[in-house]
Structure 1
């Protein structure tokens, strides 16, 4: 570990660190545009100049200079100051002066750095260069005259997203960043390029000209579009969420977010349920809360103890716990969270958990994907597998061939491959130090026992390593399993219930349910269309809640805005309903509910990874069936919020179904 001095401050940095990283360790700010700690080093912008001794008496780019023993680095000398001012002059030669109308205004690196390190005036009197805007799809808006060619977007697309569709054409002053043939960028992570852009060349198309950053109220919460549990920040103005951005969490999402996470938020204000409804004469009619509660109370009396609850994919643990306790007071334990009909053994939660952890899968050296399109089911886990490949991992797959953005050796679509691996694959797993299997929804049904047998055969669970992983696709799934939302025979065991509560469950086959249906949710989607009573609830942005991600990590989010109209937070609906049924629940506030929930399920009261003991169930070791298709047919329309989002609808139409959209001339 080399020791060096930065402005007289002695620091010690890991071998291979750069001078810029050493300066940061010493608390010195180094201005930069092209450097990003999660991308390869380009050395394009030259803004990070410092003076280094021993060495030539000239400024040097600190991002590309390795830190060495006994170096002396100077960051504030007149030479460095003059050089940085010169670089800023060059960068601003062609940059347009349109800050007042630029969406990046107020949180722009170019603004901040030019103010802190620039001269404050320009000597350039010639005509500025102009570049035509490029089309990159329904997500990213381009104003390429602003581009400073830092190539962050190019490196992100190639290195992280694995979609080599953005690059540079031309040289010198004629260089331009563009998508190839100006086609839409087909990546589930394309919105991250906007965050990476240090100027206003790439901005959010769905967010353009909406607001300024200082007008917004910021709240930290958890994304519910998949089971990864991405940490996000919601920016709201008034009663509307206008922006969703990732928050850095190296254990979960690093600093990335999927396009669903970012852009489905415009569906939060569309097709909303904002008042209770009761079906009369075959049609839903708006009623008061009292009338709705009376109707549910009558249905509960008629049902006796034949009452069930089905949890949807976006529901928080507090809602599921309140519903569970309501049903317990009615003498029922009929709970299910696997609304699409999946049925697997949940006697050991470790056997249905992503045990390697999201960050830990990067260390795997042999990975077997079983019945999972990881690119759509968990895109930010997919990026971690890409990183594992860069470290030398080999990936095999069982299922239909699909582009996962990295090389996969497909072993076929028949799950029986589990018991008869090709010799070279068996040798690879036998010699691996950290082997892993990732089982998706299409593989879990027919190969759960075979996957556990595979884990035993190749010693996937060993000291300091558990390579058995299951990929869930619903944000509520692991929390629901911890709360007992798993009927022995799956959702089919609940179909005969005389009264069923659907907690935001819209993917259910409603034709199987012949009893009275009560839908508690936030969008007028499939669930509301089949319900006898609709009780408007709150989205993830409108309530504080607890969610457990696919690796068993307990996380909490806060409320950003209030629900519209007469809609209420879901747990309060069940609390009020319990009063009407004469069996009041023993809590009146969110802290009180959480205290009771934590008492019953202690793991939900401790933020961070829950601990599940590895006691796999005894299941048949043979796999049967063929993986004909993966569970997700349309990445952009997987839940009610997405289906209400114009941005997600356009992404689906254009990126997946090939529809074309005319762009207005500007």
Structure 2
């Protein structure tokens, strides 16, 4: 049975006729203990239920609610077999090509010794870092005298562009949607399904500017280059002349891929015509980074010798970093750990309480299901211990204290939105060579995190998609 969305979303039938292949004939329902948590692999952060037997995850299912419509992505449903593979359990030091296990005290000694030599630290956080670690990472880097905080993804570098989050509930029959720079089937699959339901129920018009993709519902593609962008913000294309109010969904990576002034003109035009818009990211951690004033990783020169502290940074590390001394903190021995000189093991999302701001501007929190293996610890506890080792103090003793501190940032920034200048007179100075507008944020849907790359099932999905085989994980 081949579903139209089966390679992105698995639909569970309530009659029990469909069973996921990895779970088939492995356990009985009365043997399982269920835990409720969230999906951290995209900014939708849908609620999920994890069924456990002993110390093993047997299956992951959606938690039934109105927001998720009983849907979860293939990535969270089938990647749980990667949670036990290639785990980092003990602090490690690399000398030449030899890696040796060390104690936490020895690990902190090495870091402090290197810090005294280089006197500066660059902190780079990964796309799926939770709020607790984001806050403590910023505190730690600032306490030791550095302001160099960056993110792995191509995030908006102007923090005044914070938006209150996407809102596609209520009066949907009166809205038309315009997607800027998104391939929603890959970036945020559940949002794509949500728009599909709205389109079929109310007949909303949906337009897209960027790479041309089949969204599995009726939509109009307006162009792939900057000419389409200019036509939109100058009002030369038909969507601007329709009667229904427009809801513009903008990919946050656009600001780093096209001229900055052109991006600001888009928002200026939206404000001028009183269009509703949201600048969102497909990555679950980016809203927290933006609120806490992290910077875009692309804007930093790597030619200076410094300590580079990687927090769950996993993708394209070798291409972007001209390293001198690299510290990696994460749960899996993946690309970041392979080039690190010092490795600090941390807990996975099922082994710690972690919070995220989803694309609806709601704080979603995951729950602890297992204890961290070996000597690994939650990220925020590692930063607190490191700060105290440098004889600095952080008066945050648990996750609740951290979230209270974060809420001060969040409530302040949420009331201070940036209103763009509505003038568009400088558009004529833009280059006449209209280049392709957007490249997808997520190049490889199934293998973009260390957990999914460690999953045998996700690797099968990748091979099936790569070879265009109709590989079906439903039985």
Counterpart pick for 1:438 among 241, 244, 249: 249
Query: Whose radius of gyration is greater, 1 or 2?
Result: 1
Pair 1:505 & 2:318 matched: no
Give the 3 Å change call, closer, same or farther, for CA 433–460 of structure 1 in structure 2: farther
TM-score norm. by structure 2 comes to 0.88
Counterpart pick for 2:161 among 348, 351, 366: 348
Counterpart pick for 1:368 among 178, 182, 188: 178
Match of 1:380 in 2: 190
Give runs of aligned pairs for residues 134-153 of structure 1, distance below 5 A.
Answer: 136=2
Structure 1, residues 341-387: CA drift from partner, whole Å, max 9, x if none?
5554222312xx6x442546945632222221111101111112213
Structure 1, residues 308-336: CA drift from partner, whole Å, max 9, x if none?
21111111110111111111111112111
Give the 3 Å change call, closer, same or farther, for CA 581–458 of structure 1 in structure 2: closer
Match of 1:653 in 2: 463
Q: Using the alignment, how far apart are the partners of 2:378 and 2:233 within structure 1?
A: 53
Q: Using the alignment, how far apart are the partners of 2:258 and 2:149 within structure 1?
A: 23
Q: Using the alignment, how far apart are the partners of 1:505 and 1:580 within structure 2?
A: 24
* SS of 1:234 mapped into structure 2: strand
Q: Using the alignment, how far apart are the partners of 1:461 and 1:223 within structure 2?
A: 36
Give the 3 Å change call, closer, same or farther, for CA 360–383 of structure 1 in structure 2: farther
Structure 1, residues 55-82: CA drift from partner, whole Å, max 9, x if none?
xxxxxxxxxxxxxxxxxxxxxxxxxxxx
Match of 2:387 in 1: 578
Give the 3 Å change call, closer, same or farther, for CA 554–449 of structure 1 in structure 2: farther
Counterpart pick for 2:96 among 266, 281, 286: 281
- The offset of 1:216, in angstroms, is 2.6
Give runs of aligned pairs for residues 457-536 of structure 1, distance below 5 A.
Answer: 457=269, 462=274, 467-486=276-295, 490-493=298-301, 496=304, 498-511=306-319, 512-536=321-345
* SS of 1:325 mapped into structure 2: helix
Counterpart pick for 2:42 among 226, 251, 261: 226
Q: What residue ranges of structure 2 are gaps of 5+ in the alignment?
A: none
Q: Using the alignment, how far apart are the partners of 2:439 and 2:298 within structure 1?
A: 21
Match of 2:367 in 1: 558
TM-score norm. by structure 1 comes to 0.64
- The offset of 1:528, in angstroms, is 0.4
Give the 3 Å change call, closer, same or farther, for CA 617–564 of structure 1 in structure 2: farther
Q: Using the alignment, how far apart are the partners of 1:448 and 1:255 within structure 2?
A: 39
Structure 1, residues 263-307: CA drift from partner, whole Å, max 9, x if none?
111111111111111111233222222221211121222232x21
Q: Using the alignment, how far apart are the partners of 2:136 and 2:233 within structure 1?
A: 50
Give runs of aligned pairs for residues 412-431 of structure 1, distance below 5 A.
Answer: 412-421=223-232, 426-431=237-242
Match of 2:8 in 1: 188
CA contact (8 A) 1:363 1:434 kept: no
* SS of 1:203 mapped into structure 2: coil
* SS of 1:262 mapped into structure 2: helix
Match of 2:353 in 1: 544
Give runs of aligned pairs for residues 1-16 of structure 1, distance below 5 A.
Answer: none
Counterpart pick for 2:63 among 247, 253, 261: 247
Structure 1, residues 545-570: CA drift from partner, whole Å, max 9, x if none?
11011232212121111121221111
Pair 1:633 & 2:443 matched: yes
When the two chains are superposed, the root-mean-square deviation of aligned CA atoms in Å is: 3.1
CA contact (8 A) 1:359 1:384 kept: no
CA contact (8 A) 2:347 2:378 kept: yes
CA contact (8 A) 2:50 2:57 kept: yes
Q: Using the alignment, how far apart are the partners of 1:294 and 1:642 within structure 2?
A: 33
Q: Using the alignment, how far apart are the partners of 2:114 and 2:203 within structure 1?
A: 60
Pick 1 or 2: higher relative contact order, CA cutoff 8 A, min separation 6: 2
Q: What residue ranges of structure 1 are gaps of 5+ in the alignment?
A: 1-134, 137-156, 158-162, 164-184, 605-609
Pair 1:453 & 2:261 matched: no
Counterpart pick for 1:326 among 126, 129, 140: 140
Pair 1:409 & 2:220 matched: yes
Counterpart pick for 2:25 among 209, 232, 238: 209
- The offset of 1:659, in angstroms, is 5.0
Q: What is the aligned length?
A: 464
* SS of 2:58 mapped into structure 1: strand
Q: Using the alignment, how far apart are the partners of 1:424 and 1:561 within structure 2?
A: 54
CA contact (8 A) 2:254 2:438 kept: no
* SS of 1:479 mapped into structure 2: helix
CA contact (8 A) 1:228 1:475 kept: yes
Give the 3 Å change call, closer, same or farther, for CA 446–360 of structure 1 in structure 2: farther
Give the 3 Å change call, closer, same or farther, for CA 366–594 of structure 1 in structure 2: closer
Structure 1, residues 106-130: CA drift from partner, whole Å, max 9, x if none?
xxxxxxxxxxxxxxxxxxxxxxxxx
- The offset of 1:423, in angstroms, is 11
CA contact (8 A) 1:313 1:505 kept: yes
Give runs of aligned pairs for residues 263-274 of structure 1, distance below 5 A.
Answer: 263-274=78-89
- The offset of 1:625, in angstroms, is 3.5
